[in-house]
Amino acid sequence: IVMTQTPLSSPVTLGQPASISCRSSQSLEHSDGNTYLSWLQQRPGQPPRLLIYKISNRFSGVPDRFSGSGAGTDFTLKISRVEAEDVGVYYCMQVTHLPHTFGQGTKLEIK
């Protein structure tokens, strides 16, 4: 399954919203009815960190300015108001199909 993210780079003004799109080459809906699409954040020099799982569920400790949506093959991560600590690379990841695959990553930077 190929995961395609857009844009690959996103310069954003502090306090403004940001949006990242992720499209899969096949539906990510599993036979059990779940859609195993996650979003991860990787800050500079840090390991990945889970933000969102199963499309729209925020992981423990993740600020509510992060939200996920979508279905089937099209998914979106939104940040309602970007803060300085949000700088980094964001990846979508699917675990519905083997092998598990990631998007190329979207670099979020401050204008």
Partner 1 sequence: EVQVVESGGGLVQPGGSLRLSCAASGFTFTEYWMTWVRQAPGKGLEWVANIKEDGSEKYYVDSVKGRFTISRDNAKNSLYLQMNSLRAEDTAMYYCARGIGGYYDNWGQGTLVTVSS
Binding residues for partner 1 (CB under 8 A)? 30, 34, 36, 38, 40, 42, 47-50, 53-54, 59, 89, 91, 93, 95-96, 98-105
Q: Closer to partner 1 at the Cβ: 17 or 63?
A: 63
79 vs 58: CA distance, rounded Å: 12
Q: Closer to partner 1 at the Cβ: 15 or 99?
A: 99
- CB 37 → partner 1: shortest distance, Å? 9
**H or E segment at 7?**
none
**Listed residue (8, 10, 2, 68) closest to 37, CA to CA:** 68
Query: How long is the chain?
Result: 111
